[in-house]
Structure 1
Amino acid sequence: MAIAEDRVPGVHSAPAETHGFVLNHTMLRAKDPEVSLSFYTRVFGMRLLRKLDFPEMQFTLYFLARVDDVSAIPEDDGERTAYTFSQKGVLELTHNWGSENDAELQYHDGNAEPQGFGHICFSVPDLVAAEQWFDTHNVEFKKRSDQGKMKNVIFVKDPDGYWIEVVQPSLSKGLGRDSGAAVSRSA
């Protein structure tokens, strides 16, 4: 099935050799894993799938995801690692040991100069309820749903200052039509 985006310059049909490729995870650095793990599990309902320690390099990786069927998560560590790397939409939090004790350390969110990485995004079934949930949990807002040029889009910050876009898919149908603005540029 062809869609209009197939004709955007630079877009190619997926080569047969890429069949089975899956975008598995995005990595964010976490200054204090206890704070970040609490945030993502409590506020966004993610589940910690796997924790991998690398003592020789002094860092730990935490892999989180939204899981519909927790009974599918293997108990065996090796099998759970393979399971984790086969999922879609995984968030990897990387903790460099000792960073939680460095009062001066602050990670670059990618939105200040020089710009680079911008945000991750969660879709929710009810944007109003999500906004109230964030208020209940004292989540820091960058932009509420009724602010800015783009309505019905929320941006909140995680404990390390990374931006998280929150959208309700059914309210996103008109994005980019009138203003031509991209979501990531209007927050």
Structure 2
Amino acid sequence: MRILHTMIRVGDLDRSINFYTRVLGMKLLSRNDFPGGEFTLAFVGYEDGGAEIELTYNYGVTQYEQGNAFGHIAVEVDDAAAACDRVRELGGKVTREAGPMKHGTTVIAFVEDPDGYKIEFIQKR
């Protein structure tokens, strides 16, 4: 077994695809419209064949309440500070600057996608 993808609901599919591809450097792997079900699915991810993110747009829904159960999506980066700088340069939101995690030495940072989902950058050791 292996993890295939994580699904998140988004309020503006094109805006989300832009964030994940342009800001985080992922690729748009597929996009399929399901008019009968009134939704569109787009899959984004890195070319390494690892887990993907399914962006689900339900027709007419522009905002969701995230609740308090979902935590974050984690992405490994070479340099967390440089990754934060890139996000900022491209208009993204950094919510925690790069630095050691509390009670540890792993360097992490957090950014937010356009729908408010948290993405953790974990710097390679």
TM-score range, shorter chain: 0.7 to 0.9
RMSD of aligned Cα (Å): 1.9
Aligned length: 123
Contact 1:127 1:168 in 2 (8 A): yes
Deviating above 4 A after TM superposition, structure 1's stretches of 4 or more consecutive aligned residues are none
State the one-letter code of the partner of 2:45. Answer: A
Higher relative contact order (CA 8 A, sep 6+): 2
Are 1:164 and 2:119 an aligned pair? Answer: yes
Larger helix share, 1 or 2: 1
- The CA deviation string for residues 114-134 of structure 1, in whole angstroms up to 9 with x for no partner, is x21111011101112112111
Q: Return 5+ residue gaps in structure 1 as ranges.
A: 1-20, 69-86, 101-105, 171-187
Q: Which runs of 5+ in 2 are unaligned?
A: none
Equivalent pair of 1:141/1:157 in contact (CA under 8 Å): yes
Q: Equivalent residue for 2:10? A: 30
SS in 1 for 2:98: coil
* 1:115-126 equivalence runs, <5 A: 115-126=68-79
1:89 is displaced (CA, Å) by 1.2
SS in structure 2 at match of 1:61:
strand
Q: 2: CA distance between counterparts of 1:153 and 1:95?
A: 29
- Higher share in strand: 2
Work out the CA distance in 2 between the residues paired with 1:107 and 1:116.
Answer: 14
Q: Distance in 2 between matches of 1:46 and 1:165?
A: 15
Shift of the alpha carbon at 1:148?
Answer: 7.7
Check if 1:131 corresponds to 2:84: yes
Aligned-pair identity (%): 41
State the match for 1:80 in structure 2: none
Residues 155 and 109 of structure 1, relative CA distance in 2, 3 Å threshold? farther
Aligned equivalents of 2:26, 2:4: Cα separation in 1: 15
